[in-house]
Amino acid sequence: MSDQLAAAWRMLPGALAGHVLLSACALLLGLAVSLPLAVLAARHAKVRWPALALASLVQTVPSLALLALFYPLLLAVSAVMRPLIGHGLPALGFLPSLLALTLYSMLPILRTGVAGLTGIDPAVLEAADGAGMTASQKLWRVQAPLAAPVVMAGVRTAAVWTIGAATLSTPVGQTSLGDYIFSGLQTENWVYVLFGCAASAILALTADQLLGLIEAGARRRDGRRMALGAAGLVIGVLACLAPAAAGQIGAPSRTYVIGAKNFSEQFTLAALIGERLEADGAAVSIKQGLGSAVIFRALASGGIDAYVDYSGTLWTNVLGRRDTPAPAVMLADLKRELMARHGVVMLGPLGFENAYVLAMESGRARALGVANIADLAPHAPDLTLGSDLEFLSRPEWTALKSAYGLSFRAERSYSPTFMYSALKDGQADVISAFSSDGRIAADGLTVLADPKHAIPSYDAVLLISPKRANDARLRRALAPLIGEIDVASMRQANLMVDRDQDKRTPAQAAALLESGLR
Amino acid sequence: MVEPLIALDRIGKSFDGGKSFAVRGVDLAVARGTFLCLVGGSGAGKSTLLKTINRLIEPDEGEVRLDGRSVAAQAAAELRRGIGYVFQGVGLFPHMSVAENIAVTPRLLGWTKADITARVGELLDLVGLPADFGARFPNFLSGGQQQRVGIARALAARPPVMLMDEPFGALDPLIRADLGSAYRALHDRLGLTTVMVTHDLQEAVLLGDRMAVMKDGRLLAQGEPAELLASSDPHVAALMAAPRRMAERVAARLEGGHV
Ligand SMILES: Nc1ncnc2c1ncn2[C@@H]1O[C@H](COP(=O)(O)OP(=O)(O)OP(=O)(O)O)[C@@H](O)[C@H]1O
Ligand SMILES: [Mg+2]
């Protein structure tokens, strides 16, 4: 528990800096777009309706989906730009998060802006015209100060929303306080989840109070109060950014960015790589919680420098292959193709496999006389399949279904941790487990063999980005890992992080793996 | 003939693209120093006509000239800085103190701080408000005090012309009469040229040198009150007779008789 808390505190400067920088930029950009738009909308009814309708529409898109939508959008824009200006846009990390949150912040600012401006007493505006103000003098001297208190209420709402929604930028590769929440949910580390929620709530409340001070100042025409609120905001933002910025200055641009998908094994392996690099004197930042489709593109485009992927995943998702050659052939082909197509270096396999397997409770499997998937097929119509959120839409499932003629009574998706609980309490009879999952041994599950080799092999492989292809330090840190992590060690490490009692951090699991290296 | 300070030439204005006219074919000349009262029923087009002078409304027909120059040829904002404008809604800026309200136009004209401070003090005195009112905010003033500030604000940049649209319309009768005669005195003292819209005939007769009567967007008659009383137009004659008849009836009631 206190280990978890200590680890959480250590992550805070980076996560907080990422979160504050993102929220502040999104809010400023939101203001820069919404305020002029509000002025236009207040002046012209023709602009008002579409602008407000569009902002409301954005609001109906769930914020997580909005963030996710910017990834393909930016990829498409990038593809158009590349031939024109020679380089594309980063589709991951700060940019998509910034754009999505900016859109998200617009509605409250726009709405209160229009309400504030149109709510001004027409006699006051007539007096401004009559006194000889030009349109812009009227805007700055009369309309803006009179609408300010109303608009500030909208800015406060936008700030709270933006800071809350910024936690959702973790899956698109932006470091934020969401890192705690997403990794905590994956590893059932509730200390992390609570820590992330509390940190983002405190941040939102603080920003709200400081903006509230500015609002009160605008309402009472109290310049001191407004200055105090603004100074508080500036100082707060700088204080949050300073520690991380100081770290950056220490190791400019030489920081290694290690990627991790959104499950424990990935966190542990990223921590292991990170520790090895740091031991060699390098600065490291870890981007975790990346979607499995997103992470390879991030590597290929240089957004991250290294991560661990699985041969079968790369084979089907990146190379688009449907055949399932022998593991050694697949590895050789992958190495050649990833280099040829993307300039990505496949350093080598770690020594264990994390394959999609079907698993059952051992007693149940024995009772039904099921040892492999072929045996399972005739029983399937009476059984329920529990899967993780991805499995049912993956090509591996299609391949398994057609190879064995599998047809279950029902198919249900769970987040990985809940999938094991579902198997335990009988909501599911068969689950789509991962072969390196520590819970297979811990729960005494039987892994069903795949005699037809319908699913490709999933050897864990180390990948290096094109721009770090010849980086001696990175290769020096990673080379000793090749072929040195067997499935038993990986399961043990995974179990440490995933189990309910005596839970350990990914860093502690990484230390266990490190100690097992020769 | 000397060119009048304000000259309206066949002014027409339609708010519905020419189907109907709020003002049509109005010729009006106001000589320098004149106090003209524009009277007529509700919807007669008085406010519309008045606002064509400082271009708060652009006429569709005709031309407005100020001191011989067409107002349409001047930048609207600059034109308005040289014309005082007071209206029933007052429209004091609620986020500015009384002093800041009065200083608005001088500030637009780039006066120095010292000139502005001196002028604000002078104007508070001129409209009969204590000097310490400068620091107050408009929502702490009575209606009469607010309109005094409105008049001070309109006079601040020493405009030769004042346009007033029912400036005392929202005030109680005593204050109204008081403020009316106070303004008339200012008009004389400062040598202003004033066009004041009012639907109070008594006020028009008491304050104005000349009157112009409007009905349905047309100018029915103009002249000195006594001339209008003798008008051949029955509507004008009836209108002009109204204040005197009213006064007689009031006197009779007060003496206890029945009318
Ligand atoms: N902005 C406008 N849009 C459309 N119609 C208008 C507008 N302003 C005035 N009108 C119309 O023009 C006509 C003249 O209005 P105006 O305000 O000039 O009358 P008025 O003589 O000042 O009346 P009142 O004594 O009630 O103030 C009215 O029929 C009015 O409805
Ligand atoms: Mg009117």
So where are chain A's domains?
2-248, 255-354+457-515, 356-448
Q: Is B143 domain-assigned?
A: yes
Amino acid A248: pLDDT: 57
The top-scoring range by mean pLDDT among A179-183, A391-395, B207-211 is: B207-211
Using the predicted structure, report yes or no on whether residue B121 has a pLDDT greater than 80: yes
- Choose which residue among B37, B48, B215 to substitute to test ligand 1 binding: the one with the highest number of ligand atoms within 8 A of its C-beta: B48
Amino acid B257: pLDDT: 57
Using the predicted structure, report yes or no on whether residue A250 has a pLDDT greater than 50: no
SS3 for B70?
A: strand
* Ligand 2 mean position, distance from CA B65 (Å): 22
Q: Which two tokens stand for residue A314?
A: 């790369």
Q: Is B134 domain-assigned?
A: yes
Residues of B with a Cβ under 8 Å from any A Cβ are 54, 56, 77-82, 85, 87, 89-95, 104-105, 108, 150, 153-154
The answer to whether the CB of B22 is under 6 A from ligand 1 is yes
Cβ of B79 and A132 within 8 Å?
yes
How many CB atoms neighbour CB A442 within 10 A?
A: 15
Whether the CA torsion A364, A367, A373, A376 is positive or negative: it is negative
Chain A nearest-CA distance from B233, in A, is: 35
Residue of A126, A131, A221 lying closest to B108 (CB–CB): A131
Sheet holding B23-30, edge to edge: B23-30, B6-13, B61-66, B69-70
Using the predicted structure, report yes or no on whether residue B236 has a pLDDT greater than 90: no
Residue A118's nearest CA partner among A94, A86, A146 is A146
Q: Is B12 domain-assigned?
A: no
**A100-148 pLDDT per residue, tens:** 999 989 999 999 999 999 999 999 999 999 999 999 999 999 999 999 9
Domain boundaries, position B119: 93-159
Closest residue by Cα to atom 29, ligand 1, is B43
Residue linked to tokens 């569709």 = B60
Give the pLDDT band (50/70/90) at residue A173.
confident
Average model confidence (pLDDT) across chain A: 88
- Tell me what percent of the residues of chain B surpass a pLDDT of 70: 98
What mean pLDDT do residues A21-44 have? 95
CB B35 within 8 A of CB B208: yes
Amino acid A5: pLDDT: 84
Give domain A356-448's CATH number out of 3.40.190.120, 3.40.1710.10, 3.40.50.720, 3.40.1640.10: 3.40.190.120
* Ligand 1 mean position, distance from CA B61 (Å): 17
Using the predicted structure, report yes or no on whether residue A251 has a pLDDT greater than 50: no
B193 vs B83: CA distance, rounded Å: 10
CB B10 within 8 A of CB B27: yes
User: What's at A391, amino acid-wise?
Assistant: F
CB A412 within 8 A of CB A385: yes
Cβ-in-10-Å burial (0-12, 13-18, 19+) of A515 comes to exposed
Query: What is the bridge-based pairing of β-strands A430-434 and A445-448?
Result: unpaired
Q: Helices (H) and strands (E) in chain A — how many of each? A: 22, 10
Give the distance, in angstroms, between the CA of residue A389 and the centroid of all CA atoms in the same chain.
15
Q: Is B2 domain-assigned?
A: no
The answer to whether the CB of B193 is under 6 A from ligand 1 is no
CB B26 within 8 A of CB B11: yes
Chain B contact present for A124, CB below 8 A: yes
Q: Is B214 domain-assigned?
A: no
**Buried b vs exposed e over A336-357: b needs ≥16 C-beta within 10 Å?**
ebbeeebebbbbbbbbbbbbbb
**A485-496 pLDDT per residue, tens:** 998 899 999 988
Chain B contact present for A127, CB below 8 A: yes
What mean pLDDT do residues B126-137 have? 93
Q: State which residue of chain B sits closest to A219, comparing Cα positions.
A: B95
For residue B95, give Cα distances in angstroms to A151, B19, B30, B184.
16, 41, 36, 30
Which one has a higher pLDDT value, B231 or A331? Answer: A331
**B213-230 pLDDT per residue, tens:** 999 999 999 999 888 888
CB B221 within 8 A of CB B215: no
Amino acid A518: pLDDT: 62
Rounded CA Rg of chain B: 19
**B59-100 pLDDT per residue, tens:** 999 999 999 999 999 999 999 999 999 999 999 999 999 999
The answer to whether the CB of B42 is under 6 A from ligand 1 is yes
Residue of A122, A131, A221 lying closest to B104 (CB–CB): A131
ipTM: 0.93
Amino acid B104: pLDDT: 97
**A175-226 pLDDT per residue, tens:** 899 988 988 887 777 888 999 999 999 999 999 999 999 999 988 888 899 9
Q: Is B103 domain-assigned?
A: yes
How many CB atoms neighbour CB B255 within 10 A?
A: 7
Q: Tell me A223's DSSP state.
A: H
**A329-354 pLDDT per residue, tens:** 999 999 999 999 999 999 999 999 99
A327 vs B195: CA distance, rounded Å: 98
Chain B contact present for A142, CB below 8 A: yes
- Which atom of ligand 1 sits closest to the CA of residue B44? 21
Sheet holding A430-434, edge to edge: A410-413, A384-387, A430-434, A356-361, A445-448
How many CB atoms neighbour CB B26 within 10 A?
A: 24
CB A16 within 8 A of CB A177: yes
pTM: 0.75
Chain A nearest-CA distance from B231, in A, is: 35
Closest residue by Cα to atom 30, ligand 1, is B43
Per DSSP (E only), the strands in chain B are 6-13, 23-30, 35-40, 61-66, 69-70, 83-87, 161-165, 193-197, 210-215, 218-223
Give the pLDDT band (50/70/90) at residue A247.
low
Cβ of A128 and B80 within 8 Å?
no
The answer to whether the CB of B13 is under 6 A from ligand 1 is no
Ligand lying nearest the CA atom of residue B199:
1
DSSP-derived secondary structure for B78-115: HHHHTEEEEETT----TTS-HHHHHTHHHHHTT--HHH
**A400-411 pLDDT per residue, tens:** 888 999 999 988
Cβ of B95 and A131 within 8 Å?
no
Task: Count contacts between A and B (CB, < 8 Å).
Answer: 65
- Tell me what percent of the residues of chain A surpass a pLDDT of 90: 47
What mean pLDDT do residues A420-436 have? 88
HSE (CB half, 13 Å, CA atoms) of A47? Answer: 13
User: CATH 1.10.3210.10: does it fit domain A255-354+457-515?
Assistant: no
> Using a CB-CB distance cutoff of 8 angstroms, which residues of chain B are in contact with residue A127?
85, 87, 89-93, 150, 153
* Ligand 1 mean position, distance from CA A113 (Å): 30
Closest residue by Cα to atom 4, ligand 1, is B15
Chain B nearest-CA distance from A108, in A, is: 24
A225 vs A132: CA distance, rounded Å: 31
Chain A nearest-CA distance from B15, in A, is: 18
Same fold: A255-354+457-515 with A356-448: yes
Q: Which uninterrupted H or E stretch holds A159?
A: helix A144-165
CATH numeric code, A2-248 = 1.10.3720.10
Residue A307's nearest CA partner among A337, A340, A277, A281 is A277
> Using a CB-CB distance cutoff of 8 angstroms, which residues of chain A are in contact with residue B56?
126, 129-130
Q: Which two tokens stand for residue B115?
A: 């000139």
Whether the CA torsion B170, B171, B172, B174 is positive or negative: it is negative
Q: Which two tokens stand for residue A304?
A: 């991250």
Amino acid B209: pLDDT: 95
Q: Which two tokens stand for residue B144?
A: 């009469």
Amino acid B231: pLDDT: 81
Q: Is B107 domain-assigned?
A: yes
How many CB atoms neighbour CB B189 within 10 A?
A: 9
Using the predicted structure, report yes or no on whether residue A498 has a pLDDT greater than 50: yes
Amino acid A503: pLDDT: 82
SS3 for A251?
A: coil
Chain A nearest-CA distance from B90, in A, is: 7
Residue of B54, B94, B95 lying closest to A130 (CB–CB): B54
Q: Which two tokens stand for residue B79?
A: 């034109």
What mean pLDDT do residues A150-166 have? 95
Cβ of B91 and A127 within 8 Å?
yes
Which one has a higher pLDDT value, A455 or A247? Answer: A455
What mean pLDDT do residues B181-201 have? 94
Cβ of A127 and B79 within 8 Å?
no
Using the predicted structure, report yes or no on whether residue A279 has a pLDDT greater than 50: yes
Residue linked to tokens 């004197």 = A281
Residue A279's nearest CA partner among A490, A6, A510 is A510
Q: Is B141 domain-assigned?
A: yes
Residue of A129, A133, A221 lying closest to B56 (CB–CB): A129
Cβ of B77 and A128 within 8 Å?
no
Q: Which uninterrupted H or E stretch holds B245?
A: helix B234-254
A148 vs A99: CA distance, rounded Å: 25
SS3 for B39?
A: strand
Using the predicted structure, report yes or no on whether residue A467 has a pLDDT greater than 80: yes
Beta bridge pairs of residue A461: A309, A349
Residue linked to tokens 């319908």 = A454
SS3 for A459?
A: strand
